[in-house]
Amino acid sequence: MLPTEAESELLDCAFDLVQQSSALAAPLSIPVQEELGRLVRSMNCYYSNFIEGHQTQPRDIERALARNFDGNERQRDLQHEAVAHIEVQKSIDFGIDTPDAWPTSEVYVRWLHREFCKRLPDRLLWVKSADSDRLVQVIPGEFRKDLVRVGQHWPPGANSLAAFMRRFEEAYEPKRLSKVQQLLSAAAGHHRLLWIHPFVDGNGRVARLMSHALLLRLGVGSSLWSVSRGLARAVDRYKSALTYADAPRRNDLDGRGALSAEGLRDFCRFFLEVCADQVDFMRKLLQPGEIIRRIELYVNDEVAARRLPKGSFEMLRAAFYQGEVPRGRAPEITGYEERRARETVSALIEKGLLLAKGPRSTLTLGFPMFVLERWLPTLYPIDPATIP
């Protein structure tokens, strides 16, 4: 269920991930972190959908979150799926999931599946049986009662699921594990849950959400980065690594369990390297000086095209660095008299570049979808047909 801690490569991967993640959020104000977290949840959903073979474009996700659903039934279903994923991850990020249950517990795994599936249209809760063309209903939070097949892998029979899940929960109980083992359990548990495949459908998404929740609880994950982006960018390697870890023990030197210890070790190394790569990607993307530089270039172009008023950059810069800006400071920040300063603020709010909860509330920085290619390039693919 876990590779040995003595594997120096895994220790290096774990140490690298902890070191990089600890510095990710430090330069950013809390309001900016929260707004970026909202954006990353949409990104996480986009890439998780990609892994499942579902193409839901960022703008479709944004429209769905505004309850503006497509007229095409298939596209509308994918939008509902996206919203379900984002809402479940939001519960995780805000700590309103099931705080008394550890992410690798049966209670938590069932909760993830139930919360995701109960938000889906009924027609997405029916799948074909592995051994016939009959339709099998996906019941939110309930373990499967049928055989399933995943590629060449036949997961355990339905009658064995309770025993396998008890073992899963026991093996990853945090009180039994060292700090390094707890971090390795985010990787190993990801594979082992997919190997068990407890639900008729939705196991991949549950496994990725479970890993996200576990990394968050361990203080390594955050709302500012997504493992799904890394797995999607290496989707063929991801699936190959899962398959390799599915293999039975090859010889007496390949562990003492039923499955290959080498396969599990290789998957854990791959998973931790993907996590570290994504933290590093976001760390570089979110460098304050670079974000401000990109915002300034964007605003200069918009002001030159008369789509934004002068003084816009100064307001956005203040919101970025200070987190919250009182409206009354707009004249001081822009250098304009009160009326013109108010007009500048109104123009920025109208475009979603500044956010305000009420007519007199403080101002925070917004990251609307239309500025992402300029402010946060490569976060989403520029060409919808490819992943950068």
Taken in order of first residue, the domains within the chain and their CATH numbers are 8-285 (1.10.3290.10), 288-375 (1.10.10.10)
Query: Exposed, middle or buried, 350 (CB in 10 Å: 0-12/13-18/19+)?
Result: exposed
What pLDDT does 5 receive?
59
What pLDDT does 160 receive?
96
What pLDDT does 90 receive?
96
pLDDT in tens, 31-58: 999 999 999 999 899 999 889 888 788 8
What pLDDT does 360 receive?
86
Q: Is the pLDDT of residue 218 over 70?
A: yes
Q: Of 356 and 133, which is predicted with more confidence?
A: 356
Q: Is the pLDDT of residue 375 over 80?
A: yes
Q: Of 387 and 166, which is predicted with more confidence?
A: 166
What is the sign of the dihedral through the CA atoms of 246, 248, 254 and 256? Answer: positive
Element (H, E) at 290: helix 288-304
Q: Is the pLDDT of residue 84 over 80?
A: yes
C-alpha distance from residue 307 to each of 92, 199, 304, 370, 374 (Å): 38, 51, 8, 14, 16
pLDDT in tens, 16-30: 899 889 888 778 999
d(CA 230, CA 211): 13
Q: Percentage of the chain surpassing pLDDT 90?
A: 76
Structure tokens at 102: 């550890």
pLDDT in tens, 233-266: 999 999 999 999 999 888 877 777 889 999 999 9
Structure tokens at 306: 């008369």
Q: Percentage of the chain surpassing pLDDT 70?
A: 97
Q: Which residues, at least 6 apart from 236, have a Cβ–Cβ distance to it below 8 Å?
A: none
Specify the range with the lowest mean pLDDT, choosing from 101-105, 172-176, 240-244, 378-382: 378-382
d(CA 47, CA 27): 26
pTM for the whole structure: 0.92
What pLDDT does 383 receive?
45
